[in-house]
Structure 1
Amino acid sequence: MSDRTLMLTLAVATSLVGCSAEEARPMPEPQAVTSQAGGFHVQWQPSVAPLPLNESFDATLWLKTSADGTPIEGARLSIDCRMPAHRHGMLQEVEVTDEGQGRYRVLGLLCHMVGHWVLHVDLTRGAVTERAQFDLIVE
């Protein structure tokens, strides 16, 4: 192979490296709220931004007590996304995995319509269930 052919081949290969069907996007910043009754704090970070329409996505939650910031481990969680204007939720159930130290992985979130959604994070401790919620926009 001549030097000229080698240089041309390298130039074409280098230019193709930057081409991809989908550009890598940075992870969105976590958002944090306090539960409605004030008993716990939760941070949520979706795996993608913007939130996709009618495609499953995952998220990470971090839970800690409001009193002293202790991570909440072994929580009984119920996660749902609701669309208040239409009075319905997601068309599938999510899977929640406890990763330890107050970190939980939520698999299979799906917002199937454009508009305002509310992510409900229900934490049950003993006989008491407490809710935190995040407002989401799907475009």
Structure 2
Amino acid sequence: MLKKFLMVSAWALPCSLASAEPLQTSFDPDAQYVIVKVSGNPERLSVITQRTGLSGTSYSARQFDCISRTVRFMGSSTSLKGLADARPDDEPTPIFKGSLSRVISEATCNSNAPQAQDPILQRATLSANTQ
């Protein structure tokens, strides 16, 4: 039993470390940001991030539309459990250059890009890639 537990624990450790790669930010030099969880599809991608800095640790949730390049801030809390009670913004906003949302979207939207299934989306993807 202990052997199985140790094997499962050893397997889970590299997986959790791999997903905790720090995001590169220049606007908050005393803090480290990591992506904790990503779920959904490119039109409704939910991302939870962790910020660890001088003031402690906090978590934020955002919902990205990778197609229209917008973000809706869903709230923040000092715990993951507290995010459930957070109050989201009413409307999504554009993802601005130099913002934390831009850094997060570049890390998540690019790896969750839509698969071009229909001909119109395929042409748009090919056009964007050749420019």
TM-score by length of 1: 0.25
TM-score by length of 2: 0.26
Between structures 1 and 2, the one with greater strand share:
1
Between structures 1 and 2, the one with greater helix share:
2
Higher RCO, Cα 8 Å, sep 6+: 1
